[in-house]
């Protein structure tokens, strides 16, 4: 083998060969303020979003709970929850992780970071105005796009700065190989503004007529998940897994196949939310086919990640970053295969219009994406602050609370959703039965919300303690246990 | 894959394909559909809605009814909607021409409302139900929309628009009455306008079993 084989040159773990540690420190330092600002605000919105979700969940079984005031009604809290976690938490966390990864992989410091700080402030202003708008009664009731028309331009302007910065970094990268994470980030930063602008123009500013709105709505909503969150999440996994275990990604060619098949098939998925709806049959069929074809990118990425991890699973015992990331990567496989199966018309008949879909959405956005972001943050934040995470047991609590919370939530909603779907389909069964079946599972879901909120409080508290550098400096990273291979010891 | 133009082109073209198929095509094919003239009456299908119902559509959006109530009737075997009495026929693109926004919905925590104006044509029923759903259906999990109503002392004669037949914990005490706000009146006008039972040639009624 040549000293620099093709595969090894794609491996970020080989960075020390190409990048001196002082250069890396300089790059990290250049991203410090904007990335920490995105992370802090994301964690703030995560807490707000969890609380909104928890209240909404209990309202589904206890309709009299907080029913006196308009702004607390279920139909406003639910979209407030969704938009808070989508734009306030997940997007902001993803932007922070994406910018940091982009700077590191392009091997150039972030310039004019003050502009990105303004962008972060603007982004949060947009989320704040949007959530208040929904609670005040200006929700558009278009799923994933409820923010009123006076909030979305603020988000868009903020995003323009962020996206342009990311693309510019890529354009002025140091010569050399482009790593797989960079393809995903580059694509995500291009796709999102296209999605957001199209949906805003056609649904909010100059609404198109009739059921075409449904097509645009779900083209947008599904692609925010598939072409914005998913590529950022995968970019993070492709970086963190090799970095922590200290070996290259298994196959460059699988990476290419996974990337292009995702780009081609995911973008066509949206209409599977509208099977049987008022649309030309070919549109629905195209989405069903594309959804099933998602099998290719998903299995490709799963094999690639699994083969990379093979023989190194013991690292899950000590590395917080890896434990969250691998949980996210495994969930990605699971939730994607579940999604493909849900698009098969005969199975869709059962799950359409039920809690099963809600469980699926949480498995994707939380079990996959949010866990991936937690993992990345555990890796990135010490490198920005020059301060290790103070407590390994806080990280352990965070992991077990949210992992059990999300599994309990998805498990209960899936079971309840199937029973609900059976009742909704059977003409001999009354509508009331569909509720009777779903209710006990909704109560369990309500309990799972407490676990998630508790996990987030632990994480937020830990993050605050770290940011303020309370207590004494910790020697060495916070790990769950002694690493089996000391030379690979990183978070 | 180190060439920026190559990656850009691929990323652009894959995405553009779905943009053309799922956005541009429906923009022209569905977005320019016209209502169908009704030769018998000189009206149109779907009929245009009274102004109050159009205002009610905004109240429906503001309060997020769509998160529990769908508005689409689907054919067998995808669903048993028609057997379950949600409507006489499948709803098709033309049914939604006047809807703004279009509330197709993705959940049926509550019943489908495509034809609620046919099933429940009584305005007072809707007011009673919105004010305190459990008075109408004791097992309902719908939240109360009391905030769209005013409780007031009866001055002389009871108001003509006072909600009749209320009982339960939030019923008005003697000497008081519950009257709908403009928003409640608009919302009920909108619900009463939800009737997709007119004939459309592209959606024949399936024969009854």
CA–CA distance, A273 with A458 (Å, rounded to integer): 35
Tokens encoding B173: 């005490």
Across A11-32, average pLDDT:
74
Say if residue A490 is exposed, middle or buried (CB neighbours under 10 Å; 0-12, 13-18, 19+): buried
Terminus-to-terminus CA distance in chain B, angstroms? Answer: 60
Residues of chain B under the 70 pLDDT cut: 1, 209
Closest residue of chain B to A429, computed from CA coordinates: B84
Q: Is B75 on the interface with A (CB under 8 A)?
A: yes
Residue B64 to residue A141, Cβ atoms within 8 A: yes
> How far, in Å, are A106, A442, B31, B103 from residue A210 at the CA level?
45, 34, 6, 10
Does position A487 have pLDDT exceeding 70, yes or no?
no
Element (H, E) at B44: strand B44-45
Residue pair B73/B199 in contact (Cβ under 8 Å)? The answer is: no
pLDDT of residue B31: 87
Which of A146, A213, A445 is the best mutation test for B, with the most CBs of B within 10 A? A213
Residue B97 to residue A209, Cβ atoms within 8 A: yes
CA–CA distance, A349 with A352 (Å, rounded to integer): 6
- With vertex at residue A62, the alpha carbon angle to CA A56 and CA A65, rounded to the nearest 5 degrees, is 70
Does position A111 have pLDDT exceeding 90, yes or no?
no
Name residues 19-58 of chain A within 8 A of B (Cβ): none
pLDDT tens-digit readout, A299-348 = 999 999 999 999 999 999 999 999 999 999 999 999 999 999 999 999 99
pLDDT of residue A419: 98
Residue A278 to residue B140, Cβ atoms within 8 A: no
pLDDT of residue A248: 94
| A18 confidence band (pLDDT: 50, 70, 90) | low
Higher pLDDT, A198 or A23: A198
pLDDT of residue A2: 36
Residue A270 to residue B33, Cβ atoms within 8 A: no
pLDDT tens-digit readout, A217-232 = 999 999 999 999 999 9
Does position A490 have pLDDT exceeding 80, yes or no?
no
pLDDT tens-digit readout, A73-103 = 999 999 999 999 999 999 999 999 999 999 9
Terminus-to-terminus CA distance in chain A, angstroms? Answer: 30
Q: Is A201 on the interface with B (CB under 8 A)?
A: no
At the topology level, CATH places domain B52-193 in Cytochrome Bc1 Complex; Chain D, domain 2 (1.10.760)
Q: Where are the domains of chain B?
A: 52-193
Say if residue A424 is exposed, middle or buried (CB neighbours under 10 Å; 0-12, 13-18, 19+): buried
Q: Which single residue is written with the structure tokens 């490709």?
A: A300
pTM above 0.90, yes or no: yes
Q: Is B181 on the interface with A (CB under 8 A)?
A: no
pLDDT of residue B105: 97
How does the average pLDDT of chain A come out, rounded? 93
Residue A73 to residue B23, Cβ atoms within 8 A: no
Element (H, E) at B45: strand B44-45
Nearest to A248 by CA among A312, A187, A317, A174: A312
Across A38-43, average pLDDT:
98
Å between A174 CA and nearest CA of chain B: 12
Q: Is B12 on the interface with A (CB under 8 A)?
A: yes
Domain A24-176: top CATH class:
mainly alpha
Residue B25 to residue A283, Cβ atoms within 8 A: yes
CA–CA distance, B27 with A216 (Å, rounded to integer): 9
Closest residue of chain A to B97, computed from CA coordinates: A210
Contacts of A270 in chain B (CB under 8 A): 18, 22
Q: Is B83 on the interface with A (CB under 8 A)?
A: yes
pLDDT of residue A124: 98
Q: Where are the domains of chain A?
A: 24-176, 312-491
Across A460-476, average pLDDT:
93
Q: Count of CB atoms within 10 A of residue A266's CB?
A: 27
Across A20-24, average pLDDT:
85
CATH, domain range A312-491: 1.20.210.10
Determine which of A11-20, A106-115, A226-235 has the lowest per-residue pLDDT on average: A11-20
DSSP, residue by residue, B50-102: PHHHHHHHHHHHHTTGGGT-------TTT--TTTTTS-SS---GGGGTT-SS-
| A6 confidence band (pLDDT: 50, 70, 90) | very low
Closest residue of chain B to A60, computed from CA coordinates: B141
Q: Which single residue is written with the structure tokens 């609590």?
A: A397
Across A254-262, average pLDDT:
96
């Amino acid at each position: 083998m040549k000293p620099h084989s093709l595969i090894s040159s794609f491996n970020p773990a080989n960075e020390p060969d190409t990048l001196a540690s002082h250069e890396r420190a300089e790059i990290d330092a250049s991203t410090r303020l904007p990335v920490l600002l995105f992370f802090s605000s994301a964690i703030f919105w995560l807490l707000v979003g969890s609380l909104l979700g928890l209240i909404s969940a209990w309202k589904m079984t206890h309709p009299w709970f907080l029913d006196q005031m308009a702004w607390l009604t279920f139909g406003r809290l639910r979209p407030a929850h969704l938009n808070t976690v989508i734009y306030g938490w997940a997007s902001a966390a993803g932007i922070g992780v994406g910018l940091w990864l982009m700077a590191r992989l392009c091997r150039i410091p972030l310039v004019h970071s003050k502009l990105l700080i303004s962008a972060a402030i603007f982004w949060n202003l947009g989320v704040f105005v949007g959530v208040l708008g929904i609670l005040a009664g200006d929700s558009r009731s278009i799923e994933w796009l409820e923010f009123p028309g006076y909030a979305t331009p603020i988000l868009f302007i903020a995003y323009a700065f962020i996206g342009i910065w990311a693309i510019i970094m890529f354009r002025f990268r140091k010569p050399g190989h482009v790593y797989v994470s960079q393809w995903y980030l580059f694509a995500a930063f291009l796709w999102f503004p296209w999605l957001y602008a199209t949906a805003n123009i056609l649904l909010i500013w100059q609404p198109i007529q009739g059921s075409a709105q449904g097509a645009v709505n779900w083209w947008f909503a599904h692609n925010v998940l598939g072409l914005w969150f998913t590529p950022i999440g995968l970019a993070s996994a492709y970086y963190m897994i090799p970095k922590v275990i200290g070996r290259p990604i298994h196959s460059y060619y699988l990476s290419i196949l996974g990337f292009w098949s995702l780009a081609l098939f995911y973008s066509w998925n949206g209409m599977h939310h509208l099977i049987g709806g008022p649309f030309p049959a070919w549109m629905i069929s195209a989405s069903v086919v594309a959804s099933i074809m998602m099998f290719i990118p998903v299995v490709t990425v799963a094999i690639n990640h699994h083969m990379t991890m093979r023989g190194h699973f013991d690292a899950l015992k000590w590395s917080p970053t890896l434990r969250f990331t691998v949980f996210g990567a495994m969930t990605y496989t699971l939730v994607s295969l579940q999604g493909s199966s849900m698009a098969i018309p005969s199975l869709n008949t059962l799950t359409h219009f039920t809690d099963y879909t809600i469980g699926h959405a949480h498995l994707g956005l939380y079990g996959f994406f949010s866990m991936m972001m937690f993992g990345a943050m555990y890796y990135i934040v010490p490198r920005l602050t020059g301060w290790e995470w103070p407590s390994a047991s806080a990280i352990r609590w965070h992991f077990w609370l949210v992992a059990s919370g999300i599994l309990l939530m998805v498990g209960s909603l899936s079971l309840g959703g199937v029973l609900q779907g059976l009742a909704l389909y059977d003409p001999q069964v009354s509508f009331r039965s569909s509720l009777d079946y779903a209710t006990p599972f909704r109560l369990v879901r309500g309990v799972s919300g407490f676990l998630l909120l508790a996990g987030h409080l632990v994480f937020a508290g830990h993050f605050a303690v770290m940011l303020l550098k309370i207590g004494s400096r910790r020697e060495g990273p916070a790990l769950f246990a002694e690493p089996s291979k000391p030379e690979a010891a990183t978070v | 894959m180190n060439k920026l133009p190559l990656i850009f082109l691929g990323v652009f073209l894959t995405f553009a394909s779905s943009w053309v198929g799922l956005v541009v095509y429906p923009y022209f094919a569905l977005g320019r559909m016209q209502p169908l003239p009704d030769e018998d009456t000189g009206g149109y299908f779907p009929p245009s809605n009274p102004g109050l119902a159009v205002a009610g559509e905004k109240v429906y959006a503001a309060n997020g009814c769509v998160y529990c109530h769908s508005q689409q009737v689907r054919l067998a075997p995808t669903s048993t909607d028609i057997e379950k009495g949600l409507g006489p026929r499948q709803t098709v693109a033309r049914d939604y021409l006047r809807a703004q926004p279009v509330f197709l919905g993705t959940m049926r925590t509550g019943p489908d409302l495509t034809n609620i104006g046919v099933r429940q044509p009584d305005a007072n029923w809707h007011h009673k139900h919105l004010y305190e759903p459990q008075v109408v259906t004791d097992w309902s999990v719908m939240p109360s929309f009391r905030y769209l109503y005013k409780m007031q002392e009866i001055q002389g004669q009871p108001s003509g628009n006072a909600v009749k037949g209320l009982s339960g914990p939030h019923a008005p005490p003697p000497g008081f009455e519950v009257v709908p706000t403009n928003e409640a009146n608009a919302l009920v006008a909108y619900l009463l306008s939800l009737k997709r039972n007119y004939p459309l040639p592209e959606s024949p009624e399936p024969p009854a079993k």
